[in-house]
Amino acid sequence: MNKPKAYFFPLRPQPRKRGKLRLSSKLRSIQLIITLTFTAVTVLIAVIVSFMLYNKFAATAEKNANMNMQQIIEQVNYNLELYVKGMGSIFETAEKQITASPSIDSSLLGERMDTLMSSREDLVSVAVFTPKGKYVVGTPGQNMRLNTQLQSQSWFTSAIKSSEISYSAPHIQNLFKGRYTWVVSISKMIEYKENGLTKTGVLLIDFNFRTIDQLSRQVKLGNRGYAYILDRQGNIVYHPQQQLIYAGLKYENVEPVLAYEYRSYLDESTGEKRFITVRTLAQTGWKIVGVAYYDEIVTTKRDLNHFLIWFLGFVILGVIVLSIFLSWLIASPIRKLERTVKLVGEGDLNTPIDVSGAYEVEQLSRRFNMMLQRIRQLMDQIIYEQETKRKGELEVLQSQINPHFLYNTLNSVIRLAERGKTDEVVTMIQSLSKFFRISLSKGKNMITMQEELDHIRHYLVIQSFRFKNKFRYEIKAQDEVLTYQTIKLILQPIVENALYHGIEMMPDEGLITITAELQEGMIVIRISDNGLGMNQETLKTILSGGKTSGGSGVGVRNVNERIGLVYGREYGLTFESEIEEGTTVTVIFPAVRAQEGPEEGKEESVQ
């Protein structure tokens, strides 16, 4: 291919005295200006050293603060583990006494339960229930309330489902009259003796939640830091700002917490940097989460930051005057050049650049003027070539009608005539006539959806004669769609592909379905067949320009190209296909009525 010729139009230099030019260029050399600004390097060095020190000390302070927080949470975790172990020991003691007792209602067992209740202040109640929720025995003086819905409470259902000790989330215990205590319930299925028979039941021991609450409230992680507790399901067991959580005024991102049993990480989900430390209680599965705010735990950073600000302030003050002068000296001609270049960037290629200043800037403006002149020449040439190319492409796209279709159709008419099937010959010729009448459309390129659907209907009528009993077709369209306009001849190549590459080789009867709908201001046409389908590799190449194994795909790509040229590249064809299942082609373009549509000249002007 011949390379395009390049034309250069040198500017005629203005006459100058050589000696004066040399002296002026040296005095205004950008190299000299850069040398004079060398003092600014001291500021840069000071900034680099300061930031290195800052990052070093800040990282150390952050690490120490993080370790301190982890130690605090570890201590809280240890204290709660001890407390929970104590709760478990009390429960095991009560279980052993009830199991070993010859009768659940013996007075000796009652005395032992009284002794157990008086041994700890945080014990609220002890009781045994049948699996059906009937009260068996418990702390003396307890009277059951009615309608407690005992069998639906979490501690009861957990004990029924599991043979292990179950720890409930904090809740209001409403089983007994006159008591509405905030407790943590421990429950388990046990065996006991009653009237000489061994029975099973649920042992319940309620511990006052106040002790856990007090242990958690003692955690101090800065002025705003706190700790909270989650159960296995992510429900909040304790939170110092629980009311705000329930009211939706505060949010805790618990998903990363539930994924790990032991973890420390930096969280920014709430818009602030926070250090999060997670520890897990082995007995209950509760997670203790420590939250410390980044800006509080690294106070050393702020002190170091203040020092660096003062240090840099004194350094910058020493060179501020020189910096202002040099920046003005360098930036003034460059700003002028930038303003002119901006006009050029906005499309004004006729703007000349005349910038005086540093020698290099002045030479740059002259070279830029030469470049603009060359760009104008090249753009005129490119515009002409692109218009010519686009005009040719559209002419090819719109004129591609498969000549084999007409040849095969006429052969089919001849065969029908030879067999004496006059009615079918008339029907086929009428469909062929209407098919080409709509194809020509008096030279118009935009037709109504009614006409486009009639065109594809005539095409399918013709093909149904050629492929007798090979396929059926259905065409469905919303009434309001028919009055909108479309580019003509966009359905025939797609249906032709479905017929020849999807249905023709099938042993069974094929089905082609065409639907047209109006959806959110868009015309959506779907062409579906139950043919052989396409693999993923064919789908990827069908619109990319590559040749597919079943054919070139030129007609389908032409349709997609025409829609893109008229409506924009965001509209066109999409494919869905499965081997042995069939193919669905979706055509999408804006819904525009004939009087509002894009001017036909968009295609006519390039024909």
**Tens digit of each residue's pLDDT (9 = 90 or more) over 104-122:** 888 888 888 888 877 777 8
pLDDT, residue 604, reads: 37
Decide if domain 101-211 falls under CATH 3.40.50.300: no
Structure tokens at 356: 């005086």
Say yes or no: do domains 101-211 and 400-604 share a fold: no
Q: Binning pLDDT at 50, 70 and 90, where does residue 486 land? A: very high
Other C-beta atoms closer than 10 Å to the C-beta of 469 total 7
**According to the model, what pLDDT value does residue 491 have?**
92
* More confident site: 152 or 46: 152
- Give the C-alpha distances (Å, rounded to integers) separating 266 from 172, 219, 224, 304, 324: 35, 19, 16, 22, 42
CATH class of the domain at 400-604 = alpha beta
Q: Taking residues 446-452, what's their average pLDDT? A: 90
pLDDT of 22 above 60: no
Task: For 64-89, give the secondary structure using H, E and C.
Answer: HHHHHHHHHHHHHHHHHHHHHHHHHH
Determine the pLDDT at residue 473: 92
Taking the alpha carbons at both ends of the chain, their separation in whole angstroms is 27
Predicted confidence (pLDDT) per residue in 305-358, tens digit: 777 788 777 777 777 777 667 667 766 777 677 777 777 777 776 766 666 666
Among 231-245, 470-484, 493-507, the range with the most confident prediction by mean pLDDT is: 470-484
Do residues 126 and 139 lie in contact, with contact meaning Cβ atoms separated by under 8 Å? yes
Domain boundaries, the chain: 19-100+300-381, 101-211, 400-604
Indicate the pLDDT class of residue 529, thresholds 50, 70 and 90. very high
Burial class (CB in 10 A: 0-12, 13-18, 19+), 200: exposed
Alpha helices in 346-421 (DSSP H): 359-399, 403-418
Task: Give pLDDT, residue 450.
Answer: 92
pLDDT score at 9: 34
Q: Looking at per-residue confidence, does 228 or 416 come out higher?
A: 228
Q: State what percent of residues in the chain have pLDDT above 70.
A: 79
* pLDDT band with cut points at 50, 70 and 90 for residue 585: very high
Average pLDDT, the chain: 77
427 has a pLDDT exceeding 80: yes
Q: Is the pTM of this model over 0.75?
A: no
